[in-house]
Amino acid sequence: MTTLEHNALQYHAARDARPAGKIAIQVTKPVDSQDDLSLAYSPGVAVPCMEINRDPAKAYDYTAKGNLVGVITNGTAVLGLGDIGALAGKPVMEGKAVLFKKFAGIDAFDIEIDETDPKKLVEVIAALHPTFGGINLEDIKAPECFQVERSLRERLSIPVFHDDQHGTAIVVGAGFLNALRLTGRDISLAKIVCSGAGAAALACLDMLVDLGVPRKNITVCDSRGVLTTSRDLSEEKRAWAQDTQASTLGEVIGMADVFLGLSGPGLLSQDDVRKMAARPIVFALANPEPELRPERIREAAPDAIVATGRSDYPNQINNALCFPYLFRAALDVAATTINQAMKRACVVALAEMAATDAQFGTEYIVPSLLDKRLLTGVTPLIAAAAVESGVARQVWDQQVYRGRLEALAKTLI
């Protein structure tokens, strides 16, 4: 057993009178007297029950719903571990709950559902919706994840967000904008080659198009090669098919400005990097082992801008840069959904935060995960986008809202 494996097991185990795992429930109101108990439960609890019965929106006033997110998985695509099942995915979901609380003061329940049929999974999750102000779907394999998220978004009036797709896309978008800025590229001319056609990859490509990349400038490869119009493809992949005779990554990467990898280790070679345009942008995001290690990329192209999903290299593309603040904003304005306007606002806010930092450069294209400006700098812009796009049910004065976030930030330090 390695030191990391040993330390990880010790970290998660029960010790020092603390229970196993990483999360627990905390009581938020006094229960020190008989009067307190009569208000917390019977008979006093009947009063808010009847208020909510008369007006369901009152649940945000009298319960934890407005600060509670469900982190939900069926364990079919866990991190870099694959289909390990719902129970084995529980440590990851608990970890996600920790990040919600640590970075945005949001409470989260991790829910592991032993169901692989997407229609049945939708029914289970939909039935849980009264509990939560938002639902974070996690580690559900493609293509089922598309169906699950789409169905839930259509049925529910609270935000449903598959972080593996959209969280990755947002942080990739922010890093992409800054990499273009540093290399002086025009977004409308950028040529992109993507290795990977799963949920995260396709969401990233949708985001890049939304930011201004022409769809015709993007070539996508999956495990069988280039997505072409001559292949029998799923609906999601068919949208990215090109009319070309090329069949391999090596055939299409010549003079590409950007490589986006969300696939697997070893799928990008140094020869591929050498074929790319000058000052290439290489996002090798397979985790834990990237398509090609940064040091090998720079051997082939010393002026490359490189990002990975790893914390031991610069420019980590980490979803935790966005999902706590997206949900914080969505909960605070009682948003019915997390829409494209909110996601785009998050992309721009993250990009600007890094670009205005003294560290900004080829090894600092997205903010650090521990940057204390994130909560107060990113969240208000997302909330404003929710209001402006018409999905907010609660509107805050911007100055008052920033003050609330600043006060919250002090409690999280």
pLDDT category, 1, cuts 50, 70, 90? confident
Query: How far is residue 218's CA from residue 195's CA, in Å, rounded to a whole number?
Result: 11
Among the ranges given (14-23, 178-187, 224-233, 239-248), the one the predictor scored with the smallest mean pLDDT: 14-23
pLDDT category, 139, cuts 50, 70, 90? very high
Q: Is the pLDDT of residue 413 over 90?
A: no
Return the pLDDT at 179.
98
Give the pairing type, strands 134-137 and 160-162.
parallel
In this structure, how many other beta carbons lie within 10 angstroms of the beta carbon of residue 68?
17
The domains of the chain, with CATH numbers, are 22-164 (3.40.50.10380), 165-413 (3.40.50.720)
From residue 112, give the alpha-carbon distance in Å to each of 115, 124, 186, 275: 9, 11, 44, 44
Mean pLDDT of all residues in 145-151 = 96
318 is in an annotated binding site: yes
What is the torsion angle, in degrees rounded to the nearest 10, for the CA atoms of residue 348, residue 350, residue 352 and residue 355?
Answer: -140
Taking the model in full, what pTM does it have?
0.94
pLDDT tens profile 8-29: 999 999 888 789 999 988 999 9
Return the pLDDT at 15.
85
pLDDT tens profile 69-115: 999 999 999 987 899 999 999 999 999 999 999 999 999 999 999 99
Mean pLDDT of all residues in 49-68 = 96
138 is in an annotated binding site: yes
Catalytic residues: 41, 96
Give the pairing type, strands 68-73 and 107-112.
parallel
164 is in an annotated binding site: yes
Structure token pair of residue 413: 């330090």
163 is in an annotated binding site: no
Mean pLDDT of all residues in 254-272 = 97
Q: Is the pLDDT of residue 361 over 70?
A: yes
Tokens 């229970």 appear where?
19
Query: How far is residue 99's CA from residue 108's CA, in Å, rounded to a whole number?
Result: 9
